[in-house]
Amino acid sequence: MKFLFTVWPFQGCVHPLVAVANEVKALGHEVGFYTGKAYRPLIERQGFRLFPFQDLPESLVADLVCTPDGIGRNWTRPWKLHGQLQAFFVDSIPAQFSDMRRILDSWKPDGVITDPAMLAPVMLLAETDPVPVAICSYAAGCMLKGPGIPPLGLGLPLPRTLYRRIANEVLDWGAELFLSGIRRRANQIRQSHGLPVVKGPIIELAGKLPLYLLPSCREFDYNRTGLPASVHYVGPLQWYPPADPPAWLTEMPSDQPIIHVTEGTLHFQEPFLLKAGAEGLAGLPMRVVITTGDDRDPARLGFAPLAPNVRVERWVSHKDLLPRTAVMVATAGGGTTMAALKDGVPMVLTPTEWDKADNARRVVEAGAGVIVPRHRCNPANIRKAVEHVLAEPSYRANARRIADIMAGLGGPVKAAELVVAIGSAGGPRRR
């Protein structure tokens, strides 16, 4: 069989799908990727076929997500954010769909596995073509609504009081009002393809698909119940480029705890957390490893002279670093958060945009870390938070508890088996 993975061209989106695709290939099936041209070397090195964006402008995608005035910068500026969200998620759907239809007509896959933020498969393809569509998420939590689940994107705690329940309902109503124009545009696109209007949130269509994969565990996702049978928690979906661990890491003495500071893989702002970590943890009895990301030159980020216990690198594979790490300081990106939990590493989190506030809240609810809000992220508060997490053993115990649960869920192997199953059940591919 053949399986097409459709994904936005960002590392945090691509790598989890590559992890699953490798296992699908190991089961004897062909794999193709629909994504940006920049990922051709990575995709083809894995033995997959690349179908690059054609009608979908790759430069527009980068401008909306990766520039200093893009979506991430405007997460707290709703007057600018609304139009950018619509352009990225919804206005891009016709171009995605035309690209995908060409692939389906020529390559004839038996299943489509999509990044949850690439909406053409969910909004159109699943209802206009007989090929089965599945979601493979990089977000730690299920995006489907449920009783008692806080509105997405705000990092709100579970509503344990009447006041909080009412507040969450009001905020949920406000979020729906904010997104109503985007939903109208999405429904116009659906109607242009002869499909009915969706009355609730568009993402609820995901609950009607035959498969929705989540790279975490139910216990980390508020112990959710009442989800469709198609939703499967499979544990972390991780893939790292093959590389030997650096000599300095393997030779690092184990007499002091290692603290890892990172801002993930998507960068569009000043490295505020890296600088707070470098200054706040300087001179303490710990070894601090800061990674800037491949796209940022450490020499140009404006670090003050580094203390002897602080090391700055562009990139170190989490596969090598996290098993040695005592605490991770991060912005709560989905991949970074799940990588830390996979190795039982507690966290200090300063969430920024996208789903990061929700990821951080889940870490706190699980007892595996603490939050330092963005407006309080300074060297003194990062130092206090790290020292607190190091001194309180329950944080590591809870992180290891989640790690043990996820270790039994099957990861990419289980995800691949479920993907192949929907392909087998979907009948003969289009001729």
Would you place residue 427 in the very low, low, confident or very high pLDDT band (cuts 50, 70, 90)?
Answer: very low
Instruction: Quote the pLDDT of residue 48.
Output: 97
Report the pLDDT averaged over residues 84-91: 82
The token pair that represents 190 in the structure block = 């659906």
CA distance 240 to 29: 21
The secondary structure element, H or E, covering residue 50 is strand 49-52
Report the pLDDT averaged over residues 180-209: 88
Using a pLDDT cut of 70, give the percent of the chain over it: 93
Q: Does the pLDDT of residue 172 top 90, yes or no?
A: no
Instruction: Quote the pLDDT of residue 157.
Output: 79
pLDDT, the chain, mean: 88
Q: Does the pLDDT of residue 272 top 60, yes or no?
A: yes
pLDDT in tens, 37-68: 999 999 999 999 999 999 988 887 777 776 66
Least Cα distance to 341 among 227, 233, 419, 249 occurs for: 233
Would you place residue 263 in the very low, low, confident or very high pLDDT band (cuts 50, 70, 90)?
Answer: confident
Instruction: Quote the pLDDT of residue 430.
Output: 40
Report the pLDDT averaged over residues 230-258: 90
CA distance 275 to 301: 9
Instruction: Quote the pLDDT of residue 165.
Output: 79
Would you place residue 82 in the very low, low, confident or very high pLDDT band (cuts 50, 70, 90)?
Answer: confident
Least Cα distance to 136 among 223, 46, 226, 14 occurs for: 14
Instruction: Quote the pLDDT of residue 431.
Output: 32
Please give the C-alpha separations between residue 298 and each of 11, 94, 261, 333, in angstroms, as whole numbers: 19, 40, 13, 21
Would you place residue 5 in the very low, low, confident or very high pLDDT band (cuts 50, 70, 90)?
Answer: very high
CA distance 346 to 340: 7
Q: Are 62 and 32 in contact (CB under 8 A)?
A: no
pLDDT in tens, 348-360: 999 987 788 899 9
Residue 6's SS3 state is strand
pLDDT in tens, 288-321: 999 987 777 676 677 778 889 999 988 889 999 9
The token pair that represents 179 in the structure block = 């997104």
Would you place residue 428 in the very low, low, confident or very high pLDDT band (cuts 50, 70, 90)?
Answer: very low
Q: Are 180 and 303 in contact (CB under 8 A)?
A: no
Instruction: Quote the pLDDT of residue 66.
Output: 66
Structural domains present in the chain: 2-239+409-425 (3.40.50.2000), 247-407 (3.40.50.2000)
Instruction: Quote the pLDDT of residue 254.
Output: 84
Instruction: Quote the pLDDT of residue 365.
Output: 92
Report the pLDDT averaged over residues 206-226: 92
Report the pLDDT averaged over residues 178-190: 84
Q: Are 298 and 313 in contact (CB under 8 A)?
A: yes
Long-range contacts, stretch 116-122, CB < 8 angstroms, 24+ apart: 116/143, 116/203, 116/206, 117/8, 117/13, 117/89, 118/6, 118/7, 118/8, 119/89, 119/90, 119/93, 119/186, 119/202, 120/6, 120/92, 120/93, 120/96, 121/6, 122/202, 122/203, 122/205, 122/206, 122/209
> Alpha helix (H) ranges present in 334-392?
334-342, 356-365, 379-391
Would you place residue 340 in the very low, low, confident or very high pLDDT band (cuts 50, 70, 90)?
Answer: very high
Bigger pLDDT: 178 or 20?
A: 20
Instruction: Quote the pLDDT of residue 429.
Output: 45
pLDDT in tens, 121-160: 999 999 998 999 999 998 888 888 887 787 777 777 777 7
Instruction: Quote the pLDDT of residue 243.
Output: 82
Q: Does the pLDDT of residue 402 top 60, yes or no?
A: yes
Q: Does the pLDDT of residue 238 top 60, yes or no?
A: yes
Instruction: Quote the pLDDT of residue 229.
Output: 93
Bigger pLDDT: 84 or 98?
A: 98
